[in-house]
Structure 1
Amino acid sequence: MGKPIMIVGTSSGAGKSLTVAAICRILTNKGFNVAPFKMQNMSLNSMVSIEGGEMSVAQYVQSIACKKPPSVVYNPILLKPENGKTYIIFKGEFVDKVKPGSYMMDKKMKYFNEGIKDLKKLLSENDYVIIEGAGSPVEINLKPYDITNMAVAKAVNADTIIVTDINRGGSFASIVGTMELLDENEKDLIKGFVFNKFFGSKDLLNDGFDYLEKRYGVKTLGVIPYFKHQIPEEDSMIEWEQKTGDLDIRIVKLPRISNFSDFMPLSWYNGIKYIDSANEVGGDILIIPGSKSTVEDLIWMKENGIYEKILNAHKNKTFIVGICGGFQMFSKKIFDNVESNKTVEGFGFIPYDTHFNEEKRSVNISGNVLFNNKKYEVSGYEIRHGETSIKENEFGTFDGKKSGYLSNKVLGTYLHGIFFNTKFTQEFLNYFRERKGLKHKDFSTISIDNEINNWANFVSKNINLEELL
């Protein structure tokens, strides 16, 4: 039977996901068989697993850290909030749409019990399973209903580490508060503390470490300095970027925006600016991203004037990009009998309609796209209900089928992750640089695997895992 190690945090954004990824890669590089696990994740950012189901970005990355194909088993429950309802994705498949209170009181124990079976199976198959918690393990209003933090640790008797973000301030108080609110049998599982995102001299923290060890009998396992990386992260504590570069790239921050990790490469290579008001519409490139509710977000843009401004920008020099839901909004009409049960007029940038299907398409996919008269092999994934049948001016071909739309004014595609294809993205950005009279730039390929390795090597120098192994 493998050993479970649980990572909980003093808050959201403390660094749990990346700490898990680092430990997964450190142990994998040591030759151990390792798997990640998180019972429940709430996010509008999801990716497609090897089984073709939806899973969270964090566990997808952690799978790569373990050098294993991303599987829904590593993230049994994925919750997607929308319009006061919670969409429940269990083992990659949609199973129910309920009110949050109904899920908390009535539904989740069934999924928790099934998830624990999966976790115990993973423990039987691996040397280590590194488990991630969610938010804080001691939120007083949530603790009685916990299925993600100490409930999981207790179910498998996991040695548990508390991670805190010291850069925010108050980290010692946060750890003390967390320890004081844990039950006694939960405190017994705590084997170490980790301070994350530190700037300065670690010696200045020694008095605090001594206090924690004297009060709780628990050592501080490490202090991890701030480390700049390019690893996709969860969205719960996302900071909406407001700094663009040589090219003015703006992204509409839809109320129900999803899969905005799509735009990380544009941030790395140029800079991006998220906008949410009509007077901000414009720029060299304007992107309408994916949405959990395409029609409702389109209506939102019509109500606040963004829709009209985008129509005007399209007539001028702004190039409009639509990804998934954003692409569907390009249609003449959207017929949605799945998410909103409404039919609405789109922007009319393409001469086709979009029809929503009850069955959701979730698939990893690769194919060819054409941009600036050059063909590129690309890969990514699709998660959608809508179908837009393209007859001409297609952007690409996937599985022998025309997909997406390209003209000199717009680019629309269902392919999430398109900008992670470096050769295509380099051509895309340089096309617009040339239009502005700027020099071409060469963009180095960013490997998520290499980024994880660099991060893990950095963490290994700043944390003492031997205390747990």
Structure 2
Amino acid sequence: MKAIMVQGTASDVGKSVLCTALCRWLLEEGLRVAPFKAQNMALNSAVTRDGGEIGRSQAVQAEAAGAEACVDMNPILLKPKGDRISEVIVHGRHYRDMAAGDYQAHTHEMLQPVRQSLDRLSQRYDVLVVEGAGSPAEVNLKERDIVNMRTAELVDAPVLLVADIDRGGVFASLIGTLEILEPHERARVRGLVINKFRGDRSLLEPGLKWLYQRTGIPVLGVLPYRDPGIDPEDSLALDSRKETGDAALEVAVIRFPRISNFTDFAPLEGASDVRLRYVSRVSEWGNPDVVILPGTKNTIADLFWLRQSGLLPLLEAHRAQGGEIVGICGGYQMMGVRLHDPDGVEWDDPDQEGLRWLPVATTFRPGKRTAQVRARGLAPGWGYGLELEGYEIHLGREDCLTGAIPLLEREDGTRDGCVNDSGRVWGTHLHGLFQSPAWTRSWLNHLRQRKGLPPLDREEPIRERDQIYAALADWLREHLDLEAVRALIERKGVRR
């Protein structure tokens, strides 16, 4: 099938954003297009309609392509549980937990599900936009790397090599990557792309000419720095995140070492009356109105970290003074009375004490719940009866104890989450709930009212994702040689 592949000189150079933009451009060109990433390592995941789990970047790219996300778009997902072990998800379902060394020894087995997915996608789509991971030039990993040049060979795809000029050393990173590649791998690289450029392009031209003379590979685009407006792939993006200005409401998100699905909070970042910060040490605490305990890949390990970080006394004081505390998924689980792990799913010790802020207990059992969810609010005072959508990805099962007040009622009549008597401490398993504008605005107005501020009558506008994707396609039309890209997809080569 026809395909174009995007690889990078390093992680976080903009591969996912470029793939998203290419997906939308090809859709607007009248093609049936699908994203593909053979193997993804990320804690920022998404749930497909049938309950499969894939990397969020492929779900975003599928939406940009006008396609329904499916597990074939990301057949292998690795979710780190610690420094040396990851959950391996194959075709959307838990396969097993594996140490890094063991997984590397078995990567040849992973080619079968990759091929199966490619076969199925080839029957449904005209063209694939394929994303690599990290760099194809990691010499210690190249022999068992199935997501970069091995995938390019499987789909017989030409490769665009992307580098980030904002971090410096762009020419060295491009030349170094090409030099490390084997001759047959280098032959697949048919175009270079410089991303995150700031300033006057004319000052870059001598370097671009030198790069072509040195490599014989044309620079097909210099993409200016911009906020893509889409969900980032992993928490690396938080390192470069910049806080802006003051606002009526200050929200602090605890940045757990194993934080997952932090894109839950993107709608809050876009709210005009919210300043959102990530906090991982006491010196960053500030004076928040709300503290959020987000999702985590390992609830018990991050609960231990929270107790050792020095942040817990600040949280206890915040709660005692009537501050709002919110828990999402793993953060919600640790807010309960107890955490049971009789099968050692997350931890060797079968019984741990929670923070005891909510009358719930969590039991970890093998078998993950992954589902898209529609629900309505049950919390008294705000959000009652309002509908919202989200998704669940968690191992623990909650047991509501005496006095528990449920937060949400799912479409099937079951309930989720809990809110305390004061209404100021609450939690839920649902990710993505802040994407529901009416429900979110009701909660924010509840916070405003407590501070003596008038409510905002409007629902906070959430940027229309379709408009974001269209803008990304226009960005490519202005700054990338799309005629050359089309020629590569059509296997016609690039003339210079």
Same fold (TM over 0.5): yes
> Which residue matches 1:260?
262
Q: 1:462 aligns with which of 479, 485, 489?
A: 479
| Contact 2:376–2:385 (Cα < 8 Å) also in 1 | yes
Distance in 2 (CA, whole Å) between partners of 1:155 and 1:192 is 19
Look up the SS of the partner of 1:191 in the other structure.
Answer: strand
Distance in 2 (CA, whole Å) between partners of 1:464 and 1:213 is 15
Matches within 5 A, 1:362-401: 362-371=370-379, 372-373=381-382, 374-390=384-400, 392-398=404-410, 399-401=412-414
- Give the C-alpha shift of residue 463 in structure 1: 0.8
Q: Structure 1 residue 70 and structure 2 residue 69: aligned?
A: yes
Distance in 1 (CA, whole Å) between partners of 2:114 and 2:306 is 39
- Give the C-alpha shift of residue 271 in structure 1: 2.5
> Which residue matches 2:294?
289
Distance in 2 (CA, whole Å) between partners of 1:50 and 1:384 is 16
Distance in 2 (CA, whole Å) between partners of 1:200 and 1:292 is 40
Structure 2 CA distance for partners of 1:117 and 1:98, relative to 1, 3 Å: same
> Which residue matches 1:312?
317
Distance in 1 (CA, whole Å) between partners of 2:231 and 2:69 is 14
- Give the C-alpha shift of residue 278 in structure 1: 4.4
Q: Structure 1 residue 103 and structure 2 residue 111: aligned?
A: no
- Structure 1 regions of 5+ residues with no counterpart? none
RMSD of Structure 2 on Structure 1 (CA): 1.8
- Give the C-alpha shift of residue 439 in structure 1: 4.1
> Which residue matches 1:428?
443
> Which residue matches 1:230?
229
- Give the C-alpha shift of residue 34 in structure 1: 0.6
Look up the SS of the partner of 2:386 in the other structure.
Answer: strand
| Contact 1:242–1:273 (Cα < 8 Å) also in 2 | no
Count of equivalent residues? 467
> Which residue matches 1:353?
361
- Give the C-alpha shift of residue 73 in structure 1: 0.4
| Contact 2:328–2:427 (Cα < 8 Å) also in 1 | yes
Q: Structure 1 residue 123 and structure 2 residue 129: aligned?
A: no
> Which residue matches 2:428?
413
> Which residue matches 1:37?
36
- Structure 2 regions of 5+ residues with no counterpart? 487-496
Q: Structure 1 residue 299 and structure 2 residue 304: aligned?
A: yes
- Give the C-alpha shift of residue 242 in structure 1: 6.5
Q: Structure 1 residue 189 and structure 2 residue 196: aligned?
A: no
Look up the SS of the partner of 2:463 in the other structure.
Answer: coil
> Which residue matches 1:272?
276
| Contact 1:295–1:336 (Cα < 8 Å) also in 2 | no
| Contact 2:270–2:462 (Cα < 8 Å) also in 1 | no
- Give the C-alpha shift of residue 309 in structure 1: 3.1
Distance in 2 (CA, whole Å) between partners of 1:76 and 1:448 is 25
- Give the C-alpha shift of residue 417 in structure 1: 0.4
Q: Percent identity?
A: 37
Distance in 1 (CA, whole Å) between partners of 2:228 and 2:214 is 35
**Code of the aligned partner of 1:301:** L
| Contact 1:242–1:274 (Cα < 8 Å) also in 2 | no
Look up the SS of the partner of 1:141 in the other structure.
Answer: coil
> Which residue matches 2:492?
none
Q: Structure 1 residue 251 and structure 2 residue 259: aligned?
A: no
Look up the SS of the partner of 1:393 in the other structure.
Answer: coil
| Contact 1:199–1:225 (Cα < 8 Å) also in 2 | yes
Single out whichever of 324-333 and 309-318 deviates more from structure 2: 309-318
Q: Structure 1 residue 453 and structure 2 residue 470: aligned?
A: yes
Look up the SS of the partner of 1:178 in the other structure.
Answer: helix
Single out whichever of 157-166 and 428-437 deviates more from structure 2: 428-437
Structure 2 CA distance for partners of 1:439 and 1:458, relative to 1, 3 Å: farther
| Contact 1:85–1:98 (Cα < 8 Å) also in 2 | yes
Look up the SS of the partner of 1:214 in the other structure.
Answer: helix
Distance in 1 (CA, whole Å) between partners of 2:94 and 2:280 is 30
Q: Deviations over 1:210-229 (max 9, x none)?
A: 22222322211111112223
Structure 2 CA distance for partners of 1:117 and 1:417, relative to 1, 3 Å: same
TM-score by length of 2: 0.90
Structure 2 CA distance for partners of 1:40 and 1:267, relative to 1, 3 Å: same
Look up the SS of the partner of 2:236 in the other structure.
Answer: coil
Matches within 5 A, 1:204-215: 204-215=203-214
| Contact 1:45–1:258 (Cα < 8 Å) also in 2 | yes
> Which residue matches 2:493?
none
Single out whichever of 108-117 and 131-140 deviates more from structure 2: 108-117
Distance in 2 (CA, whole Å) between partners of 1:236 and 1:427 is 28
Matches within 5 A, 1:90-169: 90-104=90-104, 106-169=105-168
Look up the SS of the partner of 2:10 in the other structure.
Answer: coil
| Contact 1:120–1:156 (Cα < 8 Å) also in 2 | no
| Contact 1:116–1:152 (Cα < 8 Å) also in 2 | no
Structure 2 CA distance for partners of 1:251 and 1:365, relative to 1, 3 Å: same
